[in-house]
Amino acid sequence: MPRFEHPDVSFDVPRDWDDRSVAAFAAPLAPGKTSGPNVVLTRDKLAPGENLASYADRSLVELAQRLEKFVLQKRNDITVSELPAIELRFSWKGNSGLVDQRLIMCATGKRLVLSITSTTPRASGVDMEATMTRVLASVKIPGVRGDAAS
């Protein structure tokens, strides 16, 4: 069994299971607020025969169907850690008002899709643009030329 390692916990998992771990980081909450800006990393796999563009299309349809008052503002082809990526910028109505999200999806050579999402409640008045730009500039994916540890 492979071992999942984290500074706070480690455990064995069955070898044939997919790693669907999530990493989530949140800004400190302002006084009286129940939600604030955050950045979340998720992992998924491309379906057989699927490429990044079709994965992004499928994700976009799911978001539009699931999120109340969903509005797509922009879809861009970008590069993350020297790999092609797709960026979606959109808003929707959450429990505490309008939410702005920026979702970046990047497929590695292992058919793994890494998705980094920044979420900002519009009422927070926080501009996550600079923070997300710094996060994306710092991404290193093992095995990709831009990773010095490769």
Paired with 121 in beta bridges are: 99
Q: How far apart are CA 77 and CA 84, in angstroms?
A: 7
Q: Where do the structural domains in the chain lie, given as residue ranges?
A: 36-150
Q: Which CATH superfamily is domain 36-150 in?
A: Mog1/PsbP, alpha/beta/alpha sandwich (3.40.1000.10)
Q: Quick check: 149 pLDDT over 50?
A: no
pLDDT of residue 69: 97
Q: Quick check: 150 pLDDT over 60?
A: no
Question: What confidence tens digit (pLDDT) does each residue in 112-145 have?
Answer: 999 999 999 988 878 889 999 999 999 998 877 6
Under 8 Å between Cβ of 104 and 119: no
Under 8 Å between Cβ of 50 and 105: no
Question: What HEC string does 58-95 produce?
Answer: HHHHHHHHHCCCCEEEEEEEEEECCEEEEEEEEEEEEC
Q: Where residue 148 falls among pLDDT bands split at 50, 70, 90?
A: very low
Question: What confidence tens digit (pLDDT) does each residue in 29-76 have?
Answer: 878 877 889 999 999 999 999 999 999 999 999 999 999 999 999 999
Under 8 Å between Cβ of 83 and 104: no
pLDDT of residue 36: 86
